[in-house]
């Protein structure tokens, strides 16, 4: 996976309760995102595979987080029966793989699968750390369940999850949910708010406006003449760099200017 310019990345885990609390804000952000920006969801992978029952202190910590979310985020509610009806495991990788397995059939299944897992976990008190529960969640969607079941346990999906986790580290993410905006190869941390998205959208738009103000202008000085090497004596660009300039993004334009500057130094350097 590589960084893509003009992209808002959402980094999350389907079994992260704060990610569940962020769903409504996320939906609003996507609807109001500037048209020139792309949106991509990345799976961070909160907890590795484990068949060891979750320690009681960890269970208590998560239940306290649920209580805090209910207190601070309107309309978000949890089914605390989960803790008496299930053997809880600190394992979210299976749920992450389930989303990738669903996406393997179509990218349109990513969001419905995420929401099906969250509904099973937080509302229906079922355990998405178990593959049988994940398959039951997938059965609610128009998926090929046989194919989904195979993909869920496949090496290919496991590799893709590893790629997602490493990419989230490249983005500098250590907690979920997180938002990162990539503009001109720079990575910006975008604020998260579970109730009011105003500050989030303001920072996104401010960063976009700032980028627009620093648009790189053409270095042409109207002294156009190509030497024997096909280098313009005025701007020190090659012909293909001149003709393609208007179609390049700011990163590509800066790279052209850097190459032109090196040519200028070489061509104008006086012999000793």
Q: Tens of pLDDT along 54-63? A: 999 999 999 9
Question: What was the pLDDT predicted at 200?
Answer: 94
234/227 Cα distance (integer angstroms):
10
102/97 Cα distance (integer angstroms):
9
Cβ neighbours of 237 (radius 10 Å): 24
Question: What was the pLDDT predicted at 116?
Answer: 97
Of 212 and 16, more confident:
16
**Distant-in-sequence contacts of 61-67, Cβ < 8 A, 24+ apart:** 62/17, 65/17, 65/18, 66/17
Q: Does domain 7-208 have CATH number 2.60.40.1180?
A: no
8/13 Cα distance (integer angstroms):
17
Q: Which of 3-12, 88-97, 258-267 has the lowest mean pLDDT?
A: 258-267
Of 165, 113, 118, nearest to 21 by C-alpha is: 118
Of 194, 264, 208, nearest to 232 by C-alpha is: 264
∠ at Cα 40 (36, 45), nearest 5°? Answer: 160
Taking only the tens place, the pLDDT of each residue in 6-37 is 899 999 999 999 999 999 999 999 999 988 89
Of 150, 154, 164, 29, nearest to 110 by C-alpha is: 164
| Residues in Cβ contact with 266 at an 8 Å cutoff, skipping those fewer than 6 apart | none
Average pLDDT over residues 172-201: 91
Cβ neighbours of 94 (radius 10 Å): 22
Q: What are the two backbone dihedrals, phi and then psi, of residue 137, each rounded to the nearest 5 degrees?
A: -65, -45
Question: What was the pLDDT predicted at 244?
Answer: 86
Question: What was the pLDDT predicted at 272?
Answer: 43
Reading the block at residue 100, the tokens are 């990738």
Taking only the tens place, the pLDDT of each residue in 114-172 is 999 999 999 999 999 999 999 999 999 999 999 999 999 999 999 999 999 999 999 98
Of 78, 76, 123, 128, nearest to 102 by C-alpha is: 128
Question: What was the pLDDT predicted at 230?
Answer: 87
| Mean of pLDDT over the chain | 91
Average pLDDT over residues 165-184: 91
43/103 Cα distance (integer angstroms):
12
Of 149, 131, 101, 116, nearest to 23 by C-alpha is: 116
Element (H, E) at 187: strand 186-190
Question: What was the pLDDT predicted at 213?
Answer: 61
Residue ranges of the domains in the chain? 7-208, 217-272
Residue 201 pLDDT class (50, 70, 90 cuts): very high
């Amino acid at each position: 996976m590589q960084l893509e310019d003009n992209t808002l990345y959402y980094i999350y885990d389907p079994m992260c309760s704060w990610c569940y609390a962020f769903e409504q804000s996320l939906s609003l952000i996507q609807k109001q995102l500037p048209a020139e920006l792309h949106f991509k969801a990345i799976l961070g992978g909160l907890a590795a595979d484990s068949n060891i029952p979750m320690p009681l202190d960890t269970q208590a910590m998560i239940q306290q987080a649920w209580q805090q979310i209910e207190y601070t985020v309107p309309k978000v509610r949890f089914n605390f029966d989960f803790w008496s009806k299930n053997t809880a495991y600190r394992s979210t990788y299976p749920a992450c793989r389930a989303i990738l397995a669903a996406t393997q059939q179509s990218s349109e299944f990513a969001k419905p699968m995420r929401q099906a897992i969250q509904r099973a976990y937080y509302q229906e008190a079922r355990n998405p750390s178990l593959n049988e529960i994940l398959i039951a969640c997938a059965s609610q969607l128009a998926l090929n369940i046989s194919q989904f079941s195979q993909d869920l346990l496949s090496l290919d999906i496991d590799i893709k999850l590893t790629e997602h986790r490493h990419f989230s580290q490249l983005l500098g993410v250590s907690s979920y949910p997180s938002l990162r905006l990539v503009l001109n190869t720079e990575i910006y941390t975008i604020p998260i708010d579970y109730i009011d998205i105003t500050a989030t959208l303001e920072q996104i738009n401010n960063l976009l406006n700032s980028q627009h103000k620093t648009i790189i202008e053409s270095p042409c000085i109207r002294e156009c003449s190509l030497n024997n090497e096909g280098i313009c004596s005025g701007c020190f660009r090659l012909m293909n760099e001149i003709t393609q300039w208007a179609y390049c993004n700011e990163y590509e334009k800066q790279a052209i200017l850097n190459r032109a500057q090196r040519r200028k130094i070489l061509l104008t350097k006086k012999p000793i």
